[in-house]
Structures are given as structure tokens and as C-alpha cells.
Amino acid sequence: MDKDYAAISDAQDARATELFRGHPDAMRAHRAIMQAAQEPKALDAKTTELMALAIAIAQRCEGCVVYHAKQSFKKGATRDEVLDTIAVAIEMGGGPATVYGANALEAFDQFAG
């Protein structure tokens, strides 16, 4: 285990709280978009979370990878589903996505723990 993803997640939450205090309108708007996008409609919550994880990997956003790996676990994703998600992210994100995909798997495994 290279990183403590629970600690990274906690630190991110603290930074987001501080940002919320500094600009609550922007953060409320962002939260509203997240909630609207994640609201189960034709796709269930787990599927939309795995999609977000794939995009986070392809976009190379470590904070997003940690957040969506944690949420994927919370929404019932299996390790095999995360591996399939990482494969799609690699397809779309190329070589750099392999690095973030490996981090996503390690984070998921820690949260599944």
C-alpha cells in the first residue's frame, strides 16, 4: 500500500469544506449538478458512479479518482466492475490512465477493505 486513501479523502473533504465556506454559492451549484447527474433514472447509481470513476481516471484527477473510488464502493460496485471501468478509462485515456487506474484500484481496495 503506497498511499492512505482514507486520509487523502478526509483531507479533501476538509479542503472542500473550507472552499464551501469561502464561496458557498459556487459549491452549492456544483453539489446540485452532482446530485442531478447522479440521480438514478435510466442508469442506476452504481453505474453512474462507475462512469464518473472512468472519467476521473481518463482526466487524471487524483482527488476525483479517490472520491469516485470511495463512492463506487459505497454504491455496491465489485472489484471486477471497477476493473472493467478502469479498462474503459485506459481505452479512452491511454498510457497515463494506467497510472491513475492503478491508483483507483488501490483506493477501491482500501475502501473495500
- pLDDT < 70 regions, the chain: 1
pLDDT, residue 2, reads 80
pLDDT in tens, 69-78: 999 999 999 9
Contacts of 99-102 with CB under 8 Å at 24 or more apart are: 99/60, 100/56, 100/57, 100/58, 100/60, 100/61, 100/62, 100/65, 101/57
With cell 487523502, the residue in question is: 8
Q: Which CATH superfamily is domain 5-112 in?
A: AhpD-like (1.20.1290.10)
pTM attached to this predicted model = 0.91
With cell 469516485, the residue in question is: 68
CB atoms within 10 A of CB 14: 10
pLDDT, residue 1, reads 61
